[in-house]
A and B are shown apart, each in its own frame.
Chain A
Amino acid sequence: MSFYANLTIKQKQVVWAWTFLSLPILFYCVIRFYPTLNAITLSFQEWNLLGDRTWAGVDNYAKLFADPVFWKVFKNTFIYLLLGTPVSLVLSFLVAYHLDKVRFMHGTIRALYFLPFMTSAVAMAWLWRWFYQPVPIGLFNNALASVGIPQFPFLSSTTWALPSILAPAVWAGLGFQIIIFMAGLRAIPQTYYEAARIDGVGPWTILWRITLPLLKPTIVFLVVLSSIGFLRIFDQVFNMTSNNPGGPLNSTKPLVLMIYETAFDSFDMGYAAAQTVVLFVILLAVSLAQLYIMRDK
């Protein structure tokens, strides 16, 4: 106690600061860093959850890079990213841009757009899964059949299964992105627009020269967030193709689903950990690259 009493006020503040900080630090070490490091170690080992862990060197990584399924899955993951992120951002910007100008029932419309975001992804995935079914139970195909158009193989085609899964995923995330975009739009000072109008600038130039540049922080935030989201897509794929995990001939399988199957169907924990490390590196690289490209000059 006397030790504490002898400290200066500055030092006492430091002691208290660290006392309060120790809790989140401890939490992070136990809940985040320890499992992460453990997973990295595990990726160099072999373990079926039951027996002892044995060292396997780089076997898991060698197996991974020689596995054709991994490269298929790798490609799928990037298709989700490269298709999902731009489509969802353009759509949500268009909606937000126009919704911002709408006064009639503004709150209701905004709530309607936000509703899917609040719905459980699992419930939604199952609903869409049933929508996509062939005749006689699928909503879309029944509609097509009733007007004499041939059925469309939504989830049972190697070409169309992935976009069919992506569509509800984009739709579900739209509400959130619209809200963020609208907040970004509202944050742009009206004076810029007034000045532009006085100068007689057209609406197209206003969009390109004022709105979009000033929305850059919002866009960076949404691009990073939705990229990470699409790289980690799982719920929709898992639930919409649980009959045939990862779609016909792995056409919809993302990396996270492959990790899940390796870990909890095959109980090959080391191999799953190696896949997780690869996913971690991809996420890190994509996020850093985006931050670098879209940084303020």
Chain B
Amino acid sequence: MKSWKNKLLGFASGAIFALSAGSSWAVEIEYWQYFFEARVNAIDALIEKFEAENPDITVKHNTFPYADYRTKVAAAIPAGEGPDVVQLFYGWLNDYVDAELITPLPTDMFPPEKIEAEFFPMVQAMKRDGQYMALPTAVRSLALFYNERLFEEAGIENPPATLDELVESAKKLTKKDGSGNITQVGITTGMNAQDHHWWREVLTRQFGGEPYTDNYQNVNYDDDGSGAAAMKWYTDLQNVHEVTQAGFMDEPQAAFKAGRAGMHIDGSFRIGALEKTRGLKWGVAELPAGPDGTKSNYSSYWVNAVTSKAQGEKAEAAQKFLAFITSDEAMQIWLDTVGELPAKPSAALTDENKANPVFGPFIEGLGYAKTTIFANESAQRQVLMDATQRIFLEGQTAEQAIAIAAEEEQKILDEYYGE
């Protein structure tokens, strides 16, 4: 009996010794992102490559549903429990930097001048005191999706290049039943989806304005009149031209997927979902230009950052991994699997990518895209949703609705920036 116990003890101590010896030369780091199948596959493929190149590092990949992701990250990182390398939406970074939960990327491994030369300029928003805090693998922009079958049926040859053409095409694509109910929209609309970005960064600029001043701390679209003009054009699609209906088929992308919408403005992240839709023939075009030919676009991105949890050799491993997933090679893998555009012109603006009928328009859009710096994205979106609702349901004019919206949004900004 006794010898049996001794044996077991020996086994146990041997196992512990072996395990602790193992951990001294293999560093394990943890990577977090939200669950989206293509993204998970892309990171899994990248981890496999990375581990093959760095046999002394293992990367544990953890994902959470999108709806919970922000809360999970915000709860885990301050508790020192979460990931070593984490994916954050660019708009969240400020709060994490202020709370000192993100370690700056060391300048010897990530020289700022090199990043500025190589990455798209919007990435410069990730710089604090001469050091970069985080880097993206991919960026996304907006474009106009159009249903090729419906275009053919309506006898339209090319996707609209200007806003006027967009209205004309939309009229031809709209279908109504006997009692005048819309059964097919020319273009989908919904401020709750991507339209608030389209309105903010594209339409207001095309109507001659500058939506914000002071590095997005001051609302400007009411002062220069562009907001009201852009809002009138946008709501006229429904009120005057009757080519759309907010909330048609519940969600804009659902209407487009079901083949009940001629045109649909959405981000590059939608490509993957549309590719899987059987029987839908669709094309992509750049966002239509404004009355004076102005082109604009909205770009957003997710960044990778090293958290304060990673210390010592873990920090080194984390930085190595971050450098790997933001390399040109990783970006191409990301583009091929996820459909999101590389964050570096050198990887994005290859002739092959530019000529690609699907990615091409998005990549062109990146060249002139703006990135809104949000204080509170959902609250700022709500302001614009309320403005359109006041026009549709309460009969306000665009000027009235925009005056209220500007005041509400300025209040959100002032509160955030502590004025």
Contact = CB atoms under 8 A, between A and B. Distances in A.
Bound together: yes
B292 interface: no
A130 B258 CA distance: 15
B250 A133 contact: yes
A134 B181 contact: yes
A249 B389 contact: yes
Interface stretch (B71-79, B295-303, B311-319, B342-350): B71-79
A259 to B, nearest CB: 14
18 contacts: A48-B95, A50-B98, A50-B99, A51-B99, A134-B248, A135-B181, A137-B249, A145-B177, A145-B179, A148-B179, A244-B192, A244-B247, A244-B385, A248-B389, A264-B71, A265-B378, A265-B379, A267-B95
A156 interface: yes
Overall SS of chain A's interface: loop
B127 interface: no
Interface in A240-271: 243-245, 248-250, 261, 264-267
Contacts of B182: 135
Contact of B393 (A50, A148, A248): A248
Given A49-B78, A145-B177, A248-B389, A134 B245 contact: yes
B63 interface: no
B55 to A, nearest CB: 35
B211 interface: no
B120 interface: no
B227 to A, nearest CB: 19
Interface string B92-119: 0001101101000000000000000000
B260 A136 contact: yes
A150 interface: yes
Contacts of B385: 244
Nearest to A264: B71
B241 to A, nearest CB: 18
A157 interface: yes
B181 A50 contact: no
A157 B74 contact: no
* B: contact size bracket: 35 or more
A249 B389 CA distance: 7
Contacts of B354: none
B251 interface: yes
Given A243-B190, A243-B192, A243-B247, A249 B179 contact: no
A158 interface: yes
Most buried by B among A48, A148, A245, A248: A248
Contact of B74 (A50, A52, A156): A50
B390 interface: yes
A243 B250 contact: yes
Given A51-B99, A137-B249, 13 more contacts: A48-B95, A48-B99, A49-B75, A50-B74, A134-B247, A135-B182, A136-B260, A137-B250, A141-B181, A145-B181, A265-B378, A267-B74, A267-B95
Interface of A: 48-52, 129-130, 133-137, 141, 145, 148, 150-151, 156-158, 243-245, 248-250, 261, 264-267
Contacts of B378: 261, 265-266
A22 to B, nearest CB: 28
Most buried by B among A141, A156, A250: A156
Most buried by B among A150, A156, A243: A243
A49 B260 contact: no
B249 A133 contact: yes
A149 B248 CA distance: 19
Most buried by A among B78, B250, B378: B250
A129 B248 CA distance: 13
Contact of B101 (A50, A145, A264): A50
Nearest to A68: B408
A89 to B, nearest CB: 32
B239 interface: no
A143 to B, nearest CB: 12
A251 to B, nearest CB: 9
Contacts of B328: none
B62 interface: no
* In the A-B complex, the 8 residue pairs with the closest CB atoms: A50-B99, A51-B99, A265-B378, A135-B181, A49-B74, A248-B389, A136-B183, A243-B192
A244 B376 CA distance: 16
Nearest to B77: A50
A136 B249 contact: yes
B386 interface: yes
A51 B245 CA distance: 43
Nearest to B377: A265
A150 B95 CA distance: 49
Interface in B164-197: 177-179, 181-183, 190, 192
B80 to A, nearest CB: 13
A244 B378 CA distance: 11
Nearest to B254: A137
Nearest to A49: B74
Nearest to A126: B250
Contact of B376 (A135, A245, A248, A266): A266
A266 B379 CA distance: 7
A243 B389 CA distance: 13
Contacts of B96: 50
Contacts of A245: 382
Contacts of B245: 134
A249 B379 contact: no
Contacts of A137: 249-250
Most buried by A among B78, B190, B382, B390: B382
B74 A135 contact: no
